[in-house]
Amino acid sequence: MTCDPVSGRIFLADVGEGSREELDVIEPSDRAGLNFQWNIIEGLQGDLTPPYIGVNKRPILDYTHSEGQAIIGGYVYHGGLFASDLGGKYIFGDNVQKKVWVLDESTSPPGKILLCIMPTSPGPNSNTDYTGLSSFGLDQNNEIYFCQMSSVGGRIYTLARSGPPPASKPGQSCSG
């Protein structure tokens, strides 16, 4: 969960139970007592039916387990390196598939654009890969970093441009 200090929006990455991952957003204008439907409804699969506690609120975005299995919340980008591409946009990812996305609110419903896939690193066991995305962080200049978990090969990555600035969509790579 993170609060964007500029917009006052709160972003909540909610790991799904059976089939979907979801991203919830609390807007500054939202009423108190929001109910994000857990454990009755996963993702954008419907609305609560009365009686229920609080104010029904659907996620802003969801994705199936074919795209990822454990959403990891990030930050709204306020750095300088990619301000023209990513400024004011929410960056998040998925632990299992090591994907890092930017939330695309220019479409209805909102979607996500793949920024990069973190490389595989050595895991603690030879037959398993426990090296997924574990969290995000910011430096003193508000540049974003991604943490790759592992007891033997974890890394910290940031974005790096892999070519010229894109005409319309972000196009970065993960760089260690």
Residue 64 pLDDT: 95
Percent of the chain beyond pLDDT 70? 88
Residue 17 pLDDT: 84
Mean of per-residue pLDDT scores for the chain: 89
Give the CA angle between residues 120, 63, 78 to the nearest 5°: 70
pLDDT bracket for residue 167 (50, 70, 90): low
Read off the tokens for 173: 């790579």
Q: What does the pLDDT average to over 106-112?
A: 95
Domain ranges of the chain: 2-175
Residue 140 pLDDT: 97
pLDDT at 168 over 60: no
Question: At a CB cut-off of 8 Å and minimum separation 6, what does 156 contact?
Answer: 145, 146, 147, 148, 176
Distance CA 94, CA 88 (A): 20
Considering 129-133, 157-161, 168-172, the range whose residues carry the highest mean pLDDT is 157-161
Model confidence pLDDT, tens digit, residues 4-25: 999 999 999 999 888 999 999 9
CA distance readout (Å), 104 to 90, 101, 122, 168, 173: 8, 9, 32, 12, 18
Model confidence pLDDT, tens digit, residues 30-86: 999 999 998 889 899 989 999 999 999 999 999 999 999 999 999 999 999 999 999
